[in-house]
Amino acid sequence: MMGKAVEITDANFEEVVLNSDKPVLVDFWATWCGPCLMMAPVIDELAVEMTDAVIGKLDVDANPQSAAKFGIRSIPTMLVFKGGEPVDKIIGAVAKKELEAKVSAQI
């Protein structure tokens, strides 16, 4: 799955995010969300460039359990996980270098 963010679902959340030995950036998004769509190419670029982290996307409409579990109230919200715990949160559309810095800080 090179060149694209990992699709994270309620079903695979534990395996992909919580059990990862690498830091994980989860982009909570929805198809109807304009700022989310603006962030999509940035998330995919990070997925290609940051091989020492897992970069993934979770559609909040299709996967409401995970969004509710982490209190996602507005989207896009990006959570950075390390060791199965959320360690950083970014809300709204942000610059690629800001996301990159937040993830790199956990590597």
Number of structural domains (the chain) is: 1
User: What are the phi and psi torsion angles at 9 (to 5°)?
Assistant: -130, 170
Give the model's pLDDT for residue 41.
Answer: 96
Domain CATH code at residue 39 = 3.40.30.10
* Catalytic (active site) residue 22: no
| Residues of the chain above pLDDT 90, percent | 96
Domain that includes residue 65, residue range: 6-105
| Residues of the chain above pLDDT 70, percent | 97
* Catalytic (active site) residue 27: no
91 found inside a domain: yes
> CA dist 47 to 27, 64, 69, 78, Å?
11, 23, 24, 14
Tens digit of each residue's pLDDT (9 = 90 or more) over 23-64: 999 999 999 999 999 999 999 999 999 999 999 999 999 999
Catalytic residue among 16, 24, 25, 33: 33
Sequence-distant (≥ 6) Cβ neighbours of residue 3 within 8 angstroms: 44, 47, 48
Catalytic residue among 36, 43, 54, 103: 36
Note the pTM of the prediction, 2 decimals: 0.96
1 found inside a domain: no
Distance (Å, whole) CA 102 – CA 25? 9
